[in-house]
Structure 1
Amino acid sequence: MAGSLGWGNRLRYLARRARAIDTANLRRLAGLIAASSGRSRAAITLDMLWAAVRHETAFQDYFDWDFHLLTRQERETFMTHPKSNHLALRLNAPEHRSTFADKARFNARFAPYLGREWLDLRTASDGELAAFLSRHERVIAKIADSLGGDGIAAYSSAAISDIDAFRTERLSHRQVLLEEFLTQHPEMARLNTSSVNTLRIVTYLNDAGEVTTLARVLKMGNGGDVDNFSDGGMYTMLDEQGVAHHAAFDGSGRVFREHPLTGTSIVGFAVPNWGAVRSLVDALAREVPEIRYVGWDIAITPEGAAVIEGNYNTGVFQLKPGATGVREGLLPVYRAAIGF
């Protein structure tokens, strides 16, 4: 992709940010950084605002990737959520985004890759729902258009005594999808048993039909039903062989070399069935060529790998400099592959 993300996009984004600025979150994050760094909140706040203008850095980006520790040159190597948003809007055809934004449509389109049963509570008959619950000891209810794990909850089928009441309650919370709870690989379960611990693999499909992996992420829950970073989970990055070499961190900035609930070492953890992951992601990235930039959530099963969902406007993941000593982000990787 020739050219750059453009100052026009940047100025429009900054205008929107200025109108919708979350001053309470800005103060909260600046206070956390000030308390741990010994710098004044005022100085951190001004620097956060400057980074938003100069580097298109969201406030959470600044906090997560320790921008207060980085030089200008180091900051310029980091991919940010606003930059990623520009790419998503530019590379992903609007008429095909709903296939990814709606989990029911995604499940129907990517059915061969799901590795699990599912049904739509809006259309399933009472018999179909009863049979589904009888086949699966544990199920997951989802809101079709939710983001960041919002509205996802797990249920024991044995505890559901009134099927009609269960359906009514789920629909009242917009939880229209019911899925079989995936059995994760025992090695993945060693990290955390409360949630399926997944991977986020970010890919780009170029004009020649070649798939490039931009980021490989290991996500872990921390006692909740989901492993999402925005819902108490944590993450670290993986190398090309699926091995984690650095500590994980969560949305509060806490750093973990071992999982706090299981004691399993995160540093050195090797994702099982890595060959199956690579093959699956390559196939997924080619399935809807009009959507070229995607973050895939992948579960590792005893049999191989299964896709959870695809995010056409994927989040951004990078190592935390203060926890790892790595002070270079993934922007050069994105630029080399995409050409902006």
Structure 2
Amino acid sequence: MAGSLGWGHRLRYLARRARAIDTANLRHLAGLIAASSGRPRALITLDMLWAAVRHETAFQDYFDWDFHLLTRRERETFMTHPKSNHLALRLNASEHRATFADKSRFNVRFAPYLGREWIDLRSCSDDELDAFLARHDRVIAKIADSLGGDGIAAYSSSAISDIPAFRADRLAQRQVLLEQFLTQHPRMSLLNPSSVNTLRIVTYLDDRSEVHTLARVLKMGNGGDVDNFSDGGMYTMLDDDGVAHHPAFDGAGRVFREHPLSGTSIVGFAVPNWGAVQSLVDELAREVPQIRYVGWDIAITPDGAAVIEGNYNTGVFQLKPGATGVREGLLPVYRAAIGF
């Protein structure tokens, strides 16, 4: 890809950040780092601001990837959320983004890969909804345009006695989609049985229609209905064979070698049906070639793999240096594939 994520992008990003800086979050994160490292919070705060300028990091990036521990050269190897956003805007055609941003449109477009039934509460009849609930013991309601797991809730079908009232309540919460709760592979349930524990596979489709995998992520819930990092979940990275070699961490910076609820070892965990995951992602990445940079959420089922959603503005996932000793990020991987 021609061009670079240069100072023009960076200065525009900084101008936006200056206008909308979350000083409370800056103080909070700097305080957490200062407390754990013994360094003065004022110095941490100044370094966070400098990293935003020099390396284009979000404040959460600085916290998650232990930038206070890294040298300048090490920091330069880390992908960041602002950099990822630049790529999403450059590589993903605006007229096709709605297919990914709206879960109902995504479900229609990627129907052969979903591995589950779903229904739109805005258009189905009460009889259709009643029949849907009769077919599935557990269902999950979603807001069509939500991010980070916001507005997702699971329901037991047997507890729903008043169909019109249930529909009205869901629509009042903007939960317009109702999906069959996927049955995940028993080995995935060993991590955390309350949520479907998914993978985030980040791909790039190049000009020669070759699919490059940029990141392989194992996400786990922690007692809730979803595994999202922003909703109490945790993650670690996988190798090319779908094996986790390092502990997971959550949004509060807590590190876990074993899952805190199940006791299942995260280090050494091998994702089942890995071959099916790779085949599925290769197909998904080619479906809408105008959207070239995507983070796919993949569930592992007893029979293979199914796509949950595709994120054209995918988040960034990397190992936590303080928990793993790995002090190199994925920016070189992204650069080698995309060419910026």
Q: CA deviation digits over 1:75-125, x for unaligned, max 9? A: 000000000000000000000000000000000000000000001000011
Q: For structure 2, which runs of at least 5 residues remain unmatched after alignment? A: none
- Letter in structure 2 aligned against 1:312: Y
Distance, in Å, in 2 between the alignment partners of 1:201 and 1:286 is 14
Aligned to 2:314: 314
Alpha-carbon distance, 1:286 to partner: 0.1
TM-score after normalising by structure 2: 1.00
Distance, in Å, in 2 between the alignment partners of 1:61 and 1:283 is 31
Aligned to 1:173: 173
Distance, in Å, in 2 between the alignment partners of 1:117 and 1:135 is 10
Q: For structure 1, which runs of at least 5 residues remain unmatched after alignment? A: none
The number of equivalent residue pairs is 340
Structure-to-structure mapping, 1:50-61, within 5 angstroms: 50-61=50-61
Distance, in Å, in 1 between the alignment partners of 2:265 and 2:242 is 15
SS where residue 309 of structure 1 aligns? strand
Structure-to-structure mapping, 1:160-309, within 5 angstroms: 160-309=160-309
Structure-to-structure mapping, 1:67-106, within 5 angstroms: 67-106=67-106
TM-score after normalising by structure 1: 1.00
Distance, in Å, in 2 between the alignment partners of 1:14 and 1:160 is 49
- Letter in structure 2 aligned against 1:333: V
Distance, in Å, in 1 between the alignment partners of 2:3 and 2:102 is 31
SS where residue 200 of structure 1 aligns? strand
Distance, in Å, in 2 between the alignment partners of 1:108 and 1:123 is 14
- Letter in structure 2 aligned against 1:78: F
Q: CA deviation digits over 1:238-259, x for unaligned, max 9? A: 0000000000000000000000
1:139 equivalent in alignment to 2:142: no
Moved over 6 A (4+): none
- Letter in structure 2 aligned against 1:56: E
Q: CA deviation digits over 1:34-73, x for unaligned, max 9? A: 0000000000000000000000000000000000000000
Aligned to 2:11: 11
SS where residue 300 of structure 1 aligns? strand
Distance, in Å, in 1 between the alignment partners of 2:6 and 2:109 is 34
SS where residue 105 of structure 1 aligns? helix
Alpha-carbon distance, 1:284 to partner: 0.1
Distance, in Å, in 2 between the alignment partners of 1:127 and 1:274 is 39
- Letter in structure 2 aligned against 1:64: D
Distance, in Å, in 1 between the alignment partners of 2:48 and 2:14 is 13
Alpha-carbon distance, 1:11 to partner: 1.0
Computed over aligned residues only, the root mean square deviation of the Cα atoms, in angstroms, reads 0.4
Taking only the aligned residue pairs, the percentage that are identical comes to: 88
Distance, in Å, in 1 between the alignment partners of 2:52 and 2:8 is 15
Alpha-carbon distance, 1:6 to partner: 2.7
